[in-house]
């Protein structure tokens, strides 16, 4: 029942009539009171449907139309509204009016002829088919509008709205209106229907009218008044709802809102809608070229658009749109204007950059000048229409040229004036910069290395501060400092060369003592060029150490003039002049099978050699090829584990010539085996022509000892290995070296390093190889060395042109790249001359080892260093060798004008006179001298040839004798040095019956006071060649008769000519004599050349004095005590050749014994006093023993050339051991590690640039992230992590698998920690560029030089900020990981120092080809250690942490005490330091007797 009742509920409908003043113009004025607008706003509230103009003057046809329908009322239609109580209702609105005929201007006649007052009060309205009214335009065009009829053609009125116009109406009196309203109200009241007074046009209302209207309403009972404005849509709905409430008493009473309060609410609503609409327009419309039609379509569905159009209408919406478009256009024009104005200064700089051209021009004249410039149209565009912002040019975005009419604007003129001012300021600043530079160049206070803070007060003035910014003058000062520092370094390097005599007299080696370094400082200290680098002491010390390295190890690479070294130039000249064969068989260089072949001996007992050979073969390709620096080499391995004296274990075979040897050990026994095997191998080849095994490159390697039960520690094995490496002068690699794991033998990095060293040794054979064979000697008559000075201001091409382009010049076939053959007529016969053209530093190395008949030495007359090097060279040349001095000048005029040239020429002439040499000068302006210039010199050489050869022969024999005792201390010391008969076993080795020494004599090692030797006489030198050649292939020489003994005794005579004769014997081949046969060596033959020289002398005359042990200052004098002189020889031949040889021998005897030129020339050897002041080696190396020897030397020395007698009670074993401690240690240069070459697969991840494997989202390479996560999860407690290498094959397998699947799970694959760690290091090693960029490394080194620890760390941090972003993120990640590893060092034994040693070569990969990089190796390691230690400070802004202790590697512990050199603990790195290397302990110390050890360690 309830449901049915609810369904029957109908929406209430009310019929409302709107009435008010109507009639003709006379009655109502020129306009109505707003009844139609009120109805229009209520029925159709949308702004677009609201019409202000509703006329009441109609034509007869319009009046009779269906809309008006001959009635004086309008049906406005039906309206549905929800009132305040949310109940919906319907209202039919009728307006009572009076229509006027447009012809008569009187009311139209209608069916109701009553006056308006009575007609308006009608409650029943009827009009058949009357249509709903919209607007005046509808009349006559009813079909164009919606046609809706008044329901049922009749309406019953329920209430009235009585309208009162409170505006100032035209031609209307308000009082008259009020009277009319009063009458109308009275008529309406009779109907008993509710009435509400509506005040219309309140937006134009007059206050008095409103007040009077309210007074009128108050005079009536319960008459409510509503103030409205149809135009503003204020309180329109309120008026109708108030009337409905009066009609339906059941509804609640409506609250009447005053007009102004309602207007405020309406305004707020409109403002909100407007804001939303403007936001919508700005969001949709971005281009000022948009049109309203397209945009309105886009906005039609938006509620913001609908709300605003509803409230304000489409026209206002369009108006706002147009305003927005205008604003966009204005902004666009301003943007273009700014772009043009920004480009205008650039145009000025390009077209009118010269201040002199425009300094006097106004903007207008400058505009005309611009049009004349060739590039005017490149910058400007001339438009046909102006101004530019009113044309379509604003939308021409492709044309960025400046509209030329812009120049007429004020901003353009301002920019032109700014351009003028800028040019004037730049001119002033340029003047200030020039003045500042001139101040720097002329100021005596600006010295190399002086900090800006110290120099500022001397050169700055107010103008500089005013016109130059700090960055500018700091940059100028920095560049000036670089220039003067570079110049000072060049001048200091020249100074070092000028003191060449000092460096060669000091006999410096790779580790000069502090004492010698102090002497260098004392001698050079007063030189201005030395003082110039006072502020750069570290750089100065590095230059000195670099020069010492050059003196000790002279090569083309270490030459101060590199790459313009004379040797390189000469090689190029000779190779371009001749097509030189690569070997004696005239094969082309590319066809030499040994060029790409490396023969490697692996020495080690108990399976070590075979095991390492297998590991190396595993790294090779299938055809035993090995890749070094991208090139394939054939690698041949020879593992040896037995007695090297047996043929099966020999180092060399007829088909295997070794290029190097890897010596492996893991215990004392295996180390002893290595030492014994090396000594046996060297002993077996001593005396042979091809004794290159003495110089065979060695590498000693400590490998893992499996099943270590002997109690030996790693430290003791390393210490013993270092000692033996020092004794053998070889490279030592231990498990702590970067890249070597104490669980394997050796990794690919170390193998590549060793093989690179062997390749370098092969390439350098042209300067260090032994002398030519006997056959080669027979091919030439004379051997002349021509010495040129590197860096001289003359062209080697001009000097050598007469030699190389002579018809007598031919290519040399002796295997040297710096030699040619000359066939010149000397005397009556033609002579074949081998002319070796070398630099002075190369000549030093062959001065004592090769047979040279004469020297042609060139020097520049205008360079002090050139003559200084010549003096240093001549000091050690024997005075029997002819010398030709050649001074190179710029010409006669230069000599007259240049004081230095005159002095140098005079000194050269005096030297030549004092040494009985020849002197000539050649003007290099006319270098086309002729070879005939040297003919007198060649004649001198021919005359002295025999004595020179005899002397050279004898010196080599004496050296071999003395070196035998020095090197070998075994039962075979008294037997021949070598024998070509290889025994089958060691038990078969017996001294032959023709032994060189008598069997009843004590050995050389036991008695140094007397030495006796059996010498076999010979009548002439000619027997030397014939006898040697006859015995080349004799395995067993014929027995010889006993020979009278020759005693070796010590004298105190003047033997200075041999003072330096063999000081470098330890670095030189023992077989440097060119007279030794290649096979079938017979020691007794040494007697023949000796007797050939001895025979003509008196009984007591000294033959020669041989420096038996130059390092100890002991000299053996050989005396011939046999009065009887035998004319016979072993073969008894006495041919004509023998006779002539004998006569030459007699001539030789008439010549005084040879000395060094230093003793004959006062201008040579000016630093000779330093020669005998020092022992060989460093202070740290010798310790108290050196002090003891110096005390003894100070007592025994009587002068520069004095002789120290042997200590007869000295234990020879002790002396040999101490001598071994003094041997120079020379290690090969390390080569940068190449990236791992994968021959079988190509990776897209490994070996590619870092930027290709990282992204901004993932700045860490996935592989590194996986490896470190795995290590931190499972391997932080692994002992030796990152030091112990992983398995090579497993590492490659890991990389290969990851390359195929980046989601590889390392834990599932069960890789070992060391394999993962090794693969991670390999990733960084294979990067094309190191993780620490090369451009940052020198900045890090400079920052590390700061002494203050806190400032140093902040400086390093600033450098770190300059890293590329990718490198910085990865470096931070890795260092943070290493810091975490170091915190577990008590378990894994990897401190920050150990980690830095293992990681710095991988992270930095410095270029070891430069001296600076080698000098900084220790610095690199310390820098990485600092990053690991201070990781929180560098990367996480934590405070600086204090170091755990002042360790030797920590920065706080490094305190240099000597300006040139500080001793440091021995490093485990395999690379040799460029500064003097650390002092190792004696390699034989573990083997010393206890009392000797005590003495050595005091």
Element (H, E) at 1175: none
The beta strands (E) that lie in 916-982 are given as 918-923
pLDDT of 318: 93
- Rounded mean pLDDT of 1117-1141? 38
pLDDT, tens digit, 9 for 90 and up, residues 396-449: 888 889 999 999 999 999 999 999 999 999 998 898 888 888 888 888 888 899
Please name which of 338, 465, 341, 366 lies closest in space to residue 423, comparing C-alpha atoms: 366
* CA atoms lying within 13 Å on the CB side of residue 1052: 6
- Read off the pLDDT band of 972 (50, 70, 90): very low
Residues in Cβ contact with 454 at an 8 Å cutoff, skipping those fewer than 6 apart: none
Cα(850)–Cα(767) distance, integer angstroms: 11
Who has greater pLDDT, 744 or 954?
954
Cα(321)–Cα(302) distance, integer angstroms: 15
Does residue 1380 surpass a pLDDT of 90?
yes
Does residue 1453 surpass a pLDDT of 60?
no
The residues facing 88 across adjacent strands are 82
Cα(1477)–Cα(1463) distance, integer angstroms: 8
Cα(417)–Cα(421) distance, integer angstroms: 6
Total Cβ atoms within 10 A of residue 1350: 9
pLDDT of 1488: 33
- Rounded mean pLDDT of 109-132? 85
Does residue 992 surpass a pLDDT of 70?
no
Distance of CA 1259 to the CA centre of its chain: 20
Who has greater pLDDT, 771 or 496?
496
DSSP structural state of residue 533: T
CA angle 1296/1301/1306 to nearest 5° reads 75
Report whether 262 contacts 238 (CB < 8 A): yes
Report whether 1312 contacts 1284 (CB < 8 A): no
Who has greater pLDDT, 1036 or 1317?
1317
pLDDT, tens digit, 9 for 90 and up, residues 1159-1188: 778 788 788 777 655 544 444 444 433 444
Report whether 1099 contacts 1123 (CB < 8 A): yes
pLDDT of 419: 94
How far CA 960 is from CA of 204, 611, 964, in Å, comes to 135, 38, 6
pLDDT of 9: 65
Average pLDDT, the chain: 74
CA angle 579/582/586 to nearest 5° reads 75
pLDDT of 1290: 87
pLDDT, tens digit, 9 for 90 and up, residues 835-857: 899 999 888 877 767 889 999 99
pLDDT, tens digit, 9 for 90 and up, residues 1455-1494: 333 333 333 333 333 333 333 333 333 333 333 333 333 3
Total Cβ atoms within 10 A of residue 994: 15
DSSP structural state of residue 1363: S
Cα(1227)–Cα(738) distance, integer angstroms: 17
pLDDT of 40: 92
pLDDT of 112: 62
pLDDT of 816: 58
Tell the residue number behind the tokens 């064969």, with chain if given: 581
Does residue 747 surpass a pLDDT of 90?
no
Who has greater pLDDT, 797 or 1437?
1437
- Rounded mean pLDDT of 1381-1388? 92
Task: Tell me the pairing of strands 1011-1014 and 1045-1049.
Answer: antiparallel
Please name which of 764, 835, 728, 697 lies closest in space to residue 558, comparing C-alpha atoms: 764
Does residue 586 surpass a pLDDT of 50?
no
Q: Tokens at residue 321, please?
A: 């749109």
Task: Tell me the pairing of strands 380-381 and 402-403.
Answer: parallel
Report whether 1398 contacts 738 (CB < 8 A): yes
Cα(1463)–Cα(1470) distance, integer angstroms: 18
Who has greater pLDDT, 753 or 1376?
1376
- Rounded mean pLDDT of 1034-1054? 37
The residues facing 637 across adjacent strands are 600
Please name which of 754, 725, 750, 731 lies closest in space to residue 739, comparing C-alpha atoms: 750
Cα(1136)–Cα(1144) distance, integer angstroms: 12
Cα(1001)–Cα(994) distance, integer angstroms: 14
HEC-encoded secondary structure of 996-1059? CCCCCCCCCCCCCCCEEEECCCCCCCHHHHHHHHHCCCCCCCCCCCCCCEEEEECCCCCCHHHC
Cα(983)–Cα(981) distance, integer angstroms: 6
pLDDT of 1316: 92
CB-count exposure of residue 31 (10 Å: 0-12, 13-18, 19+): middle
pLDDT of 562: 83
Long-range contacts of 481-484 (CB under 8 A, 24+ apart): 481/448, 481/449, 481/450, 484/446, 484/447, 484/448
Q: Tokens at residue 764, please?
A: 């350098």
pLDDT of 1407: 67
Q: Tokens at residue 324, please?
A: 């927005």
Please name which of 235, 423, 249 lies closest in space to residue 345, comparing C-alpha atoms: 423
- Rounded mean pLDDT of 767-775? 40
List alpha helices for 499-600, DSSP H. 500-505, 514-524, 528-531, 537-552, 566-577
Tell the residue number behind the tokens 């300067």, with chain if given: 767
How far CA 409 is from CA of 340, 412, 1257, in Å, comes to 12, 5, 50
pLDDT, tens digit, 9 for 90 and up, residues 613-636: 888 887 777 666 777 766 777 888
Name the most confidently modeled range: 382-386, 402-406, 583-587, 823-827: 402-406
Does residue 1041 surpass a pLDDT of 70?
no
Sign of CA dihedral 1195, 1198, 1203, 1205: negative
The beta strands (E) that lie in 349-438 are given as 380-381, 402-403
Encode 215-230: b = buried (16+ Cβ within 10 Å), e = exposed: ebbeeeeebbbbbbbb
Does residue 976 surpass a pLDDT of 50?
no
pLDDT, tens digit, 9 for 90 and up, residues 702-735: 886 554 544 557 788 888 888 888 888 788 886 6
- Stretch among 134-138, 174-178, 594-598, 1373-1377 having the lowest mean pLDDT: 594-598
Please name which of 1123, 1119, 1092 lies closest in space to residue 1106, comparing C-alpha atoms: 1119
pLDDT of 929: 60
Cα(788)–Cα(793) distance, integer angstroms: 11
Sign of CA dihedral 1425, 1428, 1434, 1439: negative
Who has greater pLDDT, 140 or 1050?
140
At 1144, is the secondary structure helix, strand, or coil? helix
Cα(1496)–Cα(1498) distance, integer angstroms: 6
- Read off the pLDDT band of 959 (50, 70, 90): low
Total Cβ atoms within 10 A of residue 142: 14
Does residue 490 surpass a pLDDT of 80?
yes
Encode 477-513: b = buried (16+ Cβ within 10 Å), e = exposed: beebbeebbeebbebbbbbbbbbbbbbbbbbbbbbbb
Q: Tokens at residue 1351, please?
A: 């400032």
Who has greater pLDDT, 925 or 1179?
925
pLDDT, tens digit, 9 for 90 and up, residues 1233-1270: 344 334 345 778 898 999 999 998 899 999 999 999 99
At 971, is the secondary structure helix, strand, or coil? coil
pTM: 0.45
- Rounded mean pLDDT of 1411-1436? 84
Tell the residue number behind the tokens 């009278």, with chain if given: 1044
Distance of CA 1455 to the CA centre of its chain: 29
Who has greater pLDDT, 462 or 348?
348
Does residue 669 surpass a pLDDT of 80?
yes
């Amino acid at each position: 029942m309830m449901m049915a009742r609810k369904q029957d509920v109908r929406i209430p409908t009310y019929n409302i009539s709107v009435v008010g003043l109507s009639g003709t113009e006379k009655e109502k004025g020129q306009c109505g009171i707003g009844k139609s607008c009120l109805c229009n706003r209520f029925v159709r509230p949308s702004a677009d449907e609201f019409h202000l103009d509703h006329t009441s003057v109609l034509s007869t046809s319009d009046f009779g139309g269906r809309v008006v329908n001959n009635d004086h009322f309008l049906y406005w239609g039906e309206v549905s509204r929800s009132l305040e109580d949310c109940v919906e209702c319907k209202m039919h609105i009728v307006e009572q009016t009076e229509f006027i005929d447009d012809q008569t201007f009187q009311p139209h006649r209608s069916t109701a002829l009553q006056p308006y007052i009575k007609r308006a009060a009608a409650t029943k309205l009827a009009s058949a088919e009357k249509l709903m009214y919209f607007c005046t335009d509808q009349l006559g065009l009813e079909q164009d509008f919606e046609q809706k009829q008044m329901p049922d053609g009749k309406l019953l009125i329920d209430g009235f709205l009585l309208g009162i116009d409170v505006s100032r109406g035209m031609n209307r009196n308000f009082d008259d209106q009020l009277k009319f309203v009063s009458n109308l109200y009275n008529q309406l009241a009779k109907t008993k229907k509710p009435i509400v007074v509506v005040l219309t046009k309140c937006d134009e209302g007059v206050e008095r009218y409103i007040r009077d209207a309210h007074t009128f309403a108050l005079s009536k009972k319960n008459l409510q008044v509503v103030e409205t404005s149809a135009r503003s849509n204020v309180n329109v709905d309120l008026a109708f709802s108030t009337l409905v409430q009066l009609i339906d008493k059941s509804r609640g009473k409506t609250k009447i809102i005053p007009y102004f309060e309602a207007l405020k609410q309406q305004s707020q609503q409109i403002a909100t809608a407007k804001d939303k609409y403007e936001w919508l327009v700005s969001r949709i419309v971005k281009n000022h070229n948009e049109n309203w039609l397209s945009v309105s379509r886009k906005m039609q569905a938006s509620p913001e658009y609908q709300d605003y159009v509803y409230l304000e209408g489409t026209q206002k919406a369009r108006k706002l749109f147009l305003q927005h478009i205008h604003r966009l256009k204005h902004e666009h024009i301003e943007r273009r204007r700014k772009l043009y104005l920004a480009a205008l200064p650039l145009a000025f700089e390009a077209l009118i950059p010269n201040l002199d051209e425009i300094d006097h021009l106004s903007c207008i004249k400058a505009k005309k000048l611009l049009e004349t410039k060739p590039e005017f149209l490149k910058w400007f565009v001339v438009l046909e229409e102006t101004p530019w912002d009113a044309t379509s040019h604003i939308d021409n975005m492709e044309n960025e040229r400046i509209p030329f009419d812009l120049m007429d604007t004020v901003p353009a003129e301002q920019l032109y004036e700014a351009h003028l001012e800028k040019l004037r300021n730049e001119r002033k600043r340029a003047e200030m910069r020039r003045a500042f530079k001139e101040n720097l160049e002329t100021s005596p206070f600006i010295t190399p290395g002086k900090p800006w803070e110290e120099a500022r007060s001397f050169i700055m003035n107010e103008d500089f501060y005013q016109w130059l910014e700090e960055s500018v003058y700091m940059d100028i000062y920095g560049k000036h400092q670089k220039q003067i520092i570079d110049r000072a370094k060049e001048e200091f390097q020249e100074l070092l060369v000028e003191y060449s005599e000092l460096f060669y007299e000091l006999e410096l080696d790779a580790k000069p003592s502090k004492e010698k370094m102090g002497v260098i400082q004392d001698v050079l200290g007063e030189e201005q060029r030395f003082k110039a680098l006072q502020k750069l002491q570290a750089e100065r010390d590095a230059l000195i150490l670099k020069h010492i390295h050059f003196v000790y190890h002279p090569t083309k690479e270490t030459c101060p003039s590199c790459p313009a070294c004379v040797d390189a130039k000469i090689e190029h000249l000779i190779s371009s002049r001749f097509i030189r064969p690569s070997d004696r068989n005239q094969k082309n260089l590319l066809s030499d099978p040994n060029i790409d072949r490396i023969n490697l001996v692996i020495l080690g007992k108990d399976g070590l050699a075979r095991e390492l050979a297998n590991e190396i073969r595993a790294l090779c390709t299938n055809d035993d090829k090995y890749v070094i620096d991208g090139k394939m080499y054939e690698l041949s391995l020879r593992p040896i584990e037995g007695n090297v004296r047996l043929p099966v274990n020999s180092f060399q075979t007829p088909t295997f010539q070794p290029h190097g040897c890897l010596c492996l050990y893991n215990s004392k026994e295996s180390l002893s085996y290595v030492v014994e095997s090396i000594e046996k191998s060297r002993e077996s080849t001593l005396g042979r022509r091809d004794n290159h095994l003495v110089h065979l490159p060695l590498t000693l390697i400590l490998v893992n000892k499996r099943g270590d039960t002997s109690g030996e520690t790693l430290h003791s094995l390393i210490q013993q290995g270092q000692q033996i490496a020092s004794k053998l002068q070889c490279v030592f690699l231990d498990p702590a070296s970067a890249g070597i794991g104490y669980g394997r033998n050796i990794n690919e990095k170390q193998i590549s390093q060793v093989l690179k060293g062997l390749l370098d040794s092969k390439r350098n054979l042209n300067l260090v190889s032994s002398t030519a064979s006997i056959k080669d000697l027979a091919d030439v008559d004379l051997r002349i060395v021509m010495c040129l000075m590197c860096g001289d201001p003359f062209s080697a091409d001009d000097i050598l042109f007469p030699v190389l382009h002579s018809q007598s010049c031919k290519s040399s076939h002796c295997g040297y790249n710096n030699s040619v053959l000359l066939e010149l007529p000397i005397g009556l016969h033609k002579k074949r001359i081998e002319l070796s053209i070398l630099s002075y530093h190369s000549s030093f190395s062959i001065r004592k080892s090769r047979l040279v008949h004469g020297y042609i030495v060139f020097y520049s007359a205008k360079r002090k260093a050139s003559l200084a090097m010549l003096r240093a060279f001549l000091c050690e040349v024997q005075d029997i060798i002819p010398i030709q001095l050649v001074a190179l000048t710029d010409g006669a005029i230069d000599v007259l004008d240049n004081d230095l040239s005159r002095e140098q020429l005079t000194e050269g002439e005096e030297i030549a006179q004092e040494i009985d040499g020849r002197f000539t000068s050649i003007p290099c302006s006319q270098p086309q001298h002729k070879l005939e210039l040297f003919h007198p010199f060649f004649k001198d050489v021919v005359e002295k040839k025999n004595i020179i050869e005899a002397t050279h022969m004898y010196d080599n024999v004496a050296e071999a004798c003395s070196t035998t005792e020095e090197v070998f201390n075994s039962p075979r010391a008294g037997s021949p040095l070598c024998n070509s008969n290889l025994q089958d076993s060691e038990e078969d080795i017996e001294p032959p019956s023709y032994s060189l020494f008598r069997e009843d004599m004590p050995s050389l090692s036991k008695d140094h006071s007397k030495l006796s030797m059996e010498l076999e006489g010979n009548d002439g030198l000619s027997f030397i060649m014939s006898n040697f050649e006859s015995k080349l292939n004799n395995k067993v020489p014929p027995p010889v008769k006993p020979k009278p003994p020759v005693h070796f005794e010590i004298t105190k005579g003047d033997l200075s000519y041999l003072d330096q004769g063999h000081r470098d014997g330890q670095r030189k081949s023992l077989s440097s004599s060119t007279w030794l046969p290649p096979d079938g060596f017979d020691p007794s033959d040494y007697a023949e050349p000796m007797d050939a020289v001895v025979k003509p002398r008196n009984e007591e005359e000294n033959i020669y004095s041989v420096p038996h042990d130059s390092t100890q200052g002991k000299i053996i004098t050989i005396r011939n005590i046999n009065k009887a002189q035998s004319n016979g020889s072993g073969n008894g031949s006495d041919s004509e050749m023998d006779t002539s040889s004998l006569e030459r021998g007699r001539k030789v005897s008439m010549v005084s014994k040879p000395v060094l030129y230093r003793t004959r020339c006062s201008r040579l050897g000016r630093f000779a006093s330093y020669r005998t002041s020092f022992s060989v080696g460093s202070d740290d190396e010798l310790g108290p023993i050196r002090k003891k020897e110096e005390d003894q030397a100070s007592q025994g020395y009587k002068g520069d050339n004095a002789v120290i007698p042997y200590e007869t009670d000295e234990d020879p074993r002790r002396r040999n051991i101490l001598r071994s401690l003094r041997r120079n240690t020379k290690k090969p240069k390390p080569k940068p590690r190449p990236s791992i070459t994968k021959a079988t697969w190509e990776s897209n991840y490994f070996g590619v640039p870092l930027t290709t494997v990282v992204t901004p989202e993932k700045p860490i390479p996935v592989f590194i992230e996986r490896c470190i996560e795995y290590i931190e999860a499972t391997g932080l407690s692994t002992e030796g992590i990152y030091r112990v290498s992983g398995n090579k094959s497993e590492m490659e397998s890991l990389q290969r698998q990851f390359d195929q699947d980046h989601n590889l799970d390392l834990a599932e694959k069960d890789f070992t920690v060391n394999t993962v760690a090794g693969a991670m290091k390999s990733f960084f090693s294979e990067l094309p560029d190191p993780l620490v960029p090369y451009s940052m490394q020198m900045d890090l080194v400079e920052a590390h030089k700061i002494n203050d620890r806190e400032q140093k760390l902040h400086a390093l941090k600033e450098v770190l900020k300059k890293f590329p972003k990718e490198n910085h993120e990865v470096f931070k990640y890795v260092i943070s990981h290493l810091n975490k590893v170091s915190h577990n060092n008590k378990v894994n034994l990897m401190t920050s120092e150990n980690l830095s040693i293992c990681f710095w070569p991988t992270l930095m990969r410095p270029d070891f080809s430069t001296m600076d990089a080698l000098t900084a190796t220790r610095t690199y390691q310390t820098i990485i250690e600092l990053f690991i230690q201070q990781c929180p400070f560098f990367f996480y802004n934590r405070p600086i942490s204090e170091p755990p202790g002042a360790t030797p590697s920590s920065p706080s512990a490094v305190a240099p005490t000597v300006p040139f050199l500080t001793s440091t603990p021995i490093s485990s790195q395999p690379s040799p330091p460029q500064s003097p290397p650390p002092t190792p302990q004696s390699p034989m110390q573990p083997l010393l007797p206890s009392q000797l050890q005590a003495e050595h360690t005091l």
